[in-house]
Structure 1
């Protein structure tokens, strides 16, 4: 990481602390399968004291073939829809949840730039969330440079998980 103080530090992000707290309170765990973020989400969670109670693990599936071989994405999905797609994010989330035996799985795939990928614009990100109530993918349109897009994907994943954990608690 650069020493430039204008770059945000994902490990100091208070929302990540809220996520760990919500998971501890719920007695639940999380795992990740990350492409464009290359472990930033798992690293941010691990940077919070108490993370060992809730972070089961994760996989970095930056290369497309790894999304299939270790991420759990069906080869037909990759062939038909590509590595940056809603179905890919959903299957990554399910793969992380299953492989790591976690309550929640998060899959992140997208285009950080500077160039488009497989017809997808820079900033296109798919966030897959697999939890107790099923799996869903959310498409994000993020802006900025590579670092900002990657951090935005982490922030979105953290916020979405916190939202879902709080909704689960209020039921």
Structure 2
């Protein structure tokens, strides 16, 4: 399902986390669990992957991660503020040390002039540390390509957070 190079990177991340005693969690909207899917593709991932949240709806973001309704109303589900709240919520609602959050518009519909298809917001958090957020505009690559690009970016953020 995933390219061998991506699986190798995920395996290296899991090894690093295992060596450092770190557990991780994912909070995913537009990727629908693909980040967790990549990580759990590797045998032994249960020693590191604490849990994954697939929070496609706003209600799920609120109920499972504690994303404030005010954040969703003011900034929208696809925003820096929501990605940050998702990452913080993943840590608050798990025993993980690291969390990554992904929320975006994979298309082909749903984009607007200010939030076009291909816009994805990411956030990574480490317990006791700052939340790092990132915005990517992948463009209209197609739904699958946008989601895969988002998985790669989320992996990069986890690598940086673990280091």
Given the two structures, how large is their TM-score scaled by the length of structure 2? 0.90
Q: 2:132: which partner in 1?
A: 136
Partner SS for 1:28: coil
CA deviation profile, 1:135-169 (whole Å, cap 9, x unmatched): 12111111411111111111111112112322xxx
Distance in 2, Cα, partners of 1:101 & 1:142:
32
CA deviation profile, 1:21-68 (whole Å, cap 9, x unmatched): 111121101001110001111111111122111000011111122111
Partner SS for 1:151: helix
Distance in 2, Cα, partners of 1:104 & 1:163:
10
1:33 to 27, 33, 36: 27
Residue correspondence of structure 1 range 18-167 to structure 2 within 5 A: 18-117=12-111, 119-132=114-127, 133-143=129-139, 144-166=141-163
The answer to whether the 8 Å contact 1:37/1:150 transfers is yes
Q: Which runs of 5+ in 2 are unaligned?
A: none
Q: Which runs of 5+ in 1 are unaligned?
A: 1-7, 167-171
* Root-mean-square deviation (Å): 1.7
Distance in 1, Cα, partners of 2:19 & 2:111:
40
Partner SS for 2:65: coil
